[in-house]
Structure 1
Amino acid sequence: MKKRPQKTLAFRPGHARRALAACAGAGAALTGYMLFEAQWLQVRRLELDIPGLPQELAGMRILHASDLHAGAPGPGSRALDKFIAAAKDCDPDLVLFTGDMTDKKKELGPYVSRLGEIGARYGKFAVLGNHDHGLRKTVMQDLALKLLGRGHRGAREAPDGSRQAATISRTRELLSRAGVELLANECRSVEMGGGKVQVCGIDDFQYGYGDLAAAKRQFDDAADLRILLSHSPDAVAGLESGDYQLVLAGHTHGGQICIPRPGGKILLSSSGSDYGDGVYRTGAAIMHVSRGVGTTLLPFRLLSRPEVTVIRLAAGTGAGTSPAC
């Protein structure tokens, strides 16, 4: 009985070239889209119900912006331009920045004057983030920690305090030229329409500069509403119920580059935080975590559009969302 000859697969260079071309085309398309998404700024409008909010403060509008990363390679300056244009149209009562206003701390000077173009009825306040202090880690470090389940939570040991003081002093002076007041473990009270709002801000919590106790010692008992600004959302774990009614944070970029996987997504820039982006009702307060405006290290975003948020406060017991403007 004759054996049937076995079929062999012939190598055809044309097939390989077409496969490589298809992969290259898909990669180029994905890269192009991620560059586009990094510029696709979303202006979101949220309505947050704050329990016990007096009628005098109902309807107040807060512009929350975070992680501008001005000066970052690629889309950094263009994203800043789009943010400034959008912010001018939002007519806020307060403008609140939650850190990482530049990609590297030495880059703040050339960009800070742009923040003066944004108006606010009752003031503009900001806190510092890790990039403002010159403290960074790489995307690959973030990803490795995430894959290993060893993402950072809580505060690290604080670096050199003298460097912290120098950064605060320099940044405070620069921001003041744009009408922005820097809060470094400090609080300020603002009279607003017959009510009093106290805005407190802590220095970068992730690297151990934040001091919640120092801010708490400055509490104004006459305040009708107290807001905490923190670059890292993980600072909320150190709060007691009643300390603040609203917490604003950033830092995570909403992941910046989000890779789908079974059961969820890998968020490259979440830095191990328990919070990604959006509104959270914690035991201590309502918190909004911004996806931020800019990018860091890589000029890309995927499934995490940059955003600036206009928050309207209402008296109530829950948190609601209205369509973006």
Structure 2
Amino acid sequence: MADRIFWWSILAACLIGHLGIHVAIYNRLNGFGIRRRVLKAIEYGFAFTTLLIPLAMAWVFRDALTDLVLGRPENLPIPAILMSYGMACLLCWIVFGLPWLAWRPILGLEWVKTQRDIEVVDIRNHVDHTLPLTNKCRFAEQMPLNQIFELSIEQIQLPVAGLPAKLDGYRLAQFSDVHLTGHIHRDFCKYVVERATEWQPNLMALSGDIIDSHHCVDWLTDIFSGARATDGCYFILGNHDTRIASPDETRAAMSSAGWIDVGQEPTTKRLADVESEIIGNESPWFPVANIPRQSSAFRLLLSHSPDQFPWARKHNVHLMLAGHTHGGQGRLPLVGPILSPSFHGSRWASGDFYKPPTTLHVSRGVCGTHLLRINCRPQLSLLTLRSA
């Protein structure tokens, strides 16, 4: 019996390690600027091998596996290929598993402690029509635990290291990843913009992934032209904005709606009478503006991906706002997110982080092409900056 328990445990650990390898590769593939068609082909291939490898090995080596699970070590050795892949899966526990465990939200490593007041709003109760526009979205809406229309409006007192005294109390509204696909009525995103404007922020920021379907470019003026902030509304693009024929159409439409594009060119502005630079980073999908690493100004960075956190630190950024990861799209209790399209996995999937000299806020985003959110509501961040 002891031998059976031992070998069952080893096989279970190998299977989890096999899944871990695939999740780790999936997450990190999305950290590169791979063309969408190529990336999707690779992802589908990995989805296939996630199932195929265990099934194929179970069939090909069924006799050896039967000996293992029945605790008959006298019939070993294990076939070399089975042993080699099993060792690779067990090694995954060390290479990927231990760092993954170390960065779980419950442990709080690199996290900034914040005061949060959260209001959850089911936007379906605040519009006079249904939000789903397609059968796909109507089906997703009915799925148990799906929170796609439950907006979390989070007022956050965010400590920022090195914050100039005059910016203490500065109000900044941020959201990300609106993903206009045509599956959801435009009034969903319009409601987010209206709530951000009602808060009367000093500055409003949108950190990329605006358009997924070309016809939705025509929605941008209606959705975003009502946004107001005393120091302006700023935006950048993300990887999904490369899906239409010309991302310049999105830039032009957002600019026509009164938003300021900082994705390709930073801008200077006095925020609360403090010399400031508002910078965009759309890497690796678009070129990054060449700016000096050091500056005497307060630096605010809009980055689509949190993967640019090291870049922000090298360039003396005080506050970085990001999205892209959608908070993992689903979060397990205590454990947090598993999937996260980042070169760093789910380390910075959402939340507030600090590594000198940069404070990072990562939004869970507003929408997505995957119409499913489990324990991971869409987010509007209303940030009040505080001296750390």
Same fold flag (TM > 0.5): yes
More deviation, 301-310/75-84 = 75-84
Match of 2:371 among 282, 299, 310: 299
One-letter code of the match for 1:123?
G
Deviation at 1:76, TM superposition (A): 5.6
SS of the equivalent of 1:38 reads coil
SS of the equivalent of 2:377 reads coil
Deviation at 1:105, TM superposition (A): 4.9
The 5 Å alignment of 1:169-248 reads: 169-203=248-282, 205-207=283-285, 209-211=286-288, 214-217=289-292, 221-223=295-297, 225-241=298-314, 243-248=316-321
Which residue is 1:32 aligned to? 143
The answer to which structure has the higher helix fraction is 2
Match of 2:383 among 292, 308, 311: 311
The 5 Å alignment of 1:11-90 reads: 31-35=142-146, 37-73=147-183, 75=184, 77-90=186-199
Unaligned runs of 5+ in 1: 1-27, 136-162, 317-325
Deviation at 1:84, TM superposition (A): 2.5
Which residue is 1:100 aligned to? 209
Residues in 1 aligned to 2:265 and 2:168: alpha-carbon distance in whole angstroms: 25
Match of 2:231 among 122, 131, 147: 122
Distance 1:38 1:190, change over 3 A: same
SS of the equivalent of 1:100 reads coil
SS of the equivalent of 1:132 reads helix
Residues in 1 aligned to 2:280 and 2:202: alpha-carbon distance in whole angstroms: 18
Deviation at 1:279, TM superposition (A): 0.3
Which residue is 2:335 aligned to? 264
Contact 1:202 1:215 (C-alpha < 8 Å) held by counterparts: no
The 5 Å alignment of 1:144-155 reads: none
Q: Cα deviations across residues 222-270 of structure 1 (Å, max 9, x unaligned)?
A: 52x101111110011234456100110000111113356xx83553454
Residues in 1 aligned to 2:259 and 2:141: alpha-carbon distance in whole angstroms: 38
One-letter code of the match for 2:257?
A
One-letter code of the match for 2:258?
G
Contact 2:220 2:253 (C-alpha < 8 Å) held by counterparts: no
Residues in 2 aligned to 1:239 and 1:30: alpha-carbon distance in whole angstroms: 38
More deviation, 57-66/77-86 = 77-86
Distance 1:50 1:131, change over 3 A: same
Q: Cα deviations across residues 118-149 of structure 1 (Å, max 9, x unaligned)?
A: 110011111100111118xxxxxxxxxxxxxx
Match of 1:113 among 222, 233, 238: 222
Q: How many residues align?
A: 248
Q: Cα deviations across residues 177-225 of structure 1 (Å, max 9, x unaligned)?
A: 111011223211112332122110022x243x242xx3424x79452x1
Residues in 1 aligned to 2:375 and 2:295: alpha-carbon distance in whole angstroms: 42
Contact 2:209 2:239 (C-alpha < 8 Å) held by counterparts: yes
Residues in 1 aligned to 2:230 and 2:336: alpha-carbon distance in whole angstroms: 40
One-letter code of the match for 1:65?
F
Distance 1:292 1:30, change over 3 A: closer
Deviation at 1:108, TM superposition (A): 2.2
Contact 1:76 1:294 (C-alpha < 8 Å) held by counterparts: no
1:252 aligns with 2:325: yes
Residues in 2 aligned to 1:53 and 1:45: alpha-carbon distance in whole angstroms: 19
Distance 1:220 1:259, change over 3 A: closer
One-letter code of the match for 1:109?
D
SS of the equivalent of 1:47 reads strand
Unaligned runs of 5+ in 2: 1-138
Distance 1:220 1:188, change over 3 A: farther
Distance 1:119 1:312, change over 3 A: same
Residues in 2 aligned to 1:202 and 1:286: alpha-carbon distance in whole angstroms: 16
Which residue is 1:323 aligned to? none
Contact 1:104 1:131 (C-alpha < 8 Å) held by counterparts: no
Contact 1:241 1:285 (C-alpha < 8 Å) held by counterparts: no
Contact 1:41 1:82 (C-alpha < 8 Å) held by counterparts: no
TM normalised by structure 1 equals 0.68
